[in-house]
């Protein structure tokens, strides 16, 4: 896929939860890399899509995992039709295109992979392409953004200090109840009252965090439940399938969460 394929033509629906747009724009203007912190499903990806559209830059997203090597990011030589050719990885493509490279869930990547972004993430703004013997300088329009969910981190999987201290951090949290209700109603195309009940249910599950649940219902799960409701599924069933089952496999916890939704709907 070419960088121009990642240009977002239509404005993505995004409701700001704080001053994240202004801080992102200021960091972008000054060539500073950005770290998005926040729980799963709170809107980090949607925010990146919105910012890419707003800044009119291509967005290249990489979902990080523990097999991701630096060659996967930077590029490698491949044999094509009997010839050896260099193929840029997504990070190099984003640098060449002066676009935004978003490394989602960066802590999932191995530490030796993460260090390739260091020279790009400080004031050198270069990508060393060792195998090609090239040093790729990032144009002013290039932006590096990474995300991570502090809730999931363990001692083994945490962001190196030398990595995180290169980034301007933006904390994204779940929106307040009124805003989350608006988002759920808009995204799922349900009425305000149904959205309000779903958000109330979400708050109940969020209060169970650490008491049997690792996470409460995210905005994403509320949108999923709302979409099932819009498609004619009864709210209690929608909450069970889209939310409770996504949060836990523990039969007792499932029963408790289902009871909460039955008490509301």
Ligand X SMILES: Nc1ncnc2c1ncn2[C@@H]1O[C@H](COP(=O)(O)OP(=O)(O)OP(=O)(O)O)[C@@H](O)[C@H]1O
Residues lying near ligand X in the complex (CB under 6 A): 13-15, 17, 38, 40-46, 104, 149, 175, 183, 187, 219-220, 223
Residue 229 or 256 having the CB closest to ligand X: 229
Nearest distance, CB of residue 179 and ligand X, angstroms? 7
Residue 136 or 205 having the CB closest to ligand X: 205
Nearest distance, CB of residue 84 and ligand X, angstroms? 36
Residue 44 or 57 having the CB closest to ligand X: 44
Nearest distance, CB of residue 259 and ligand X, angstroms? 25
Nearest distance, CB of residue 180 and ligand X, angstroms? 8
Nearest distance, CB of residue 250 and ligand X, angstroms? 21
Residue 126 or 230 having the CB closest to ligand X: 230
Give the separation between CA 241 and CA 184, rounded to whole angstroms. Answer: 17
Residue 40 or 141 having the CB closest to ligand X: 40
């Amino acid at each position: 896929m070419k960088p121009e394929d990642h240009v977002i033509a239509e404005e993505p629906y995004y409701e700001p939860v704080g001053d994240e747009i202004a801080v992102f724009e200021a960091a972008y203007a000054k060539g500073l890399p950005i770290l998005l912190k926040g729980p799963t499903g709170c809107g980090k990806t949607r925010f990146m899509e919105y910012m890419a559209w707003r800044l009119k830059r291509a967005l290249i997203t990489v979902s990080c995992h523990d097999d991701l090597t630096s060659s996967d990011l930077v590029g490698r030589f491949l044999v094509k039709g009997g010839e050896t050719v260099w193929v840029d990885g997504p990070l190099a493509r984003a640098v060449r295109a002066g676009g935004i490279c978003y490394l989602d869930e960066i802590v999932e990547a191995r530490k030796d992979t993460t260090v390739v972004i260091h020279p790009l993430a400080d004031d050198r703004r270069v990508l060393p392409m060792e195998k090609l013997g090239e040093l790729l300088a990032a144009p002013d329009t290039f932006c590096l953004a990474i995300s991570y969910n502090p809730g999931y981190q363990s001692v083994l999987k945490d962001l190196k200090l030398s990595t995180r201290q290169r980034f301007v951090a933006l904390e994204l949290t779940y929106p307040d109840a009124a805003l989350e209700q608006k988002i759920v109603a808009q995204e799922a195309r349900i009425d305000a009252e149904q959205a309000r009940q779903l958000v109330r249910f979400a708050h109940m599950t969020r209060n169970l965090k650490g008491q049997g649940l690792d996470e409460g219902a995210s905005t994403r799960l509320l949108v999923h439940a709302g979409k099932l409701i819009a498609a004619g599924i009864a709210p209690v069933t929608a909450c069970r399938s889209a939310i409770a089952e996504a949060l836990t496999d523990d039969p007792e916890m499932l029963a408790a969460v289902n009871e909460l939704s039955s008490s509301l709907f």
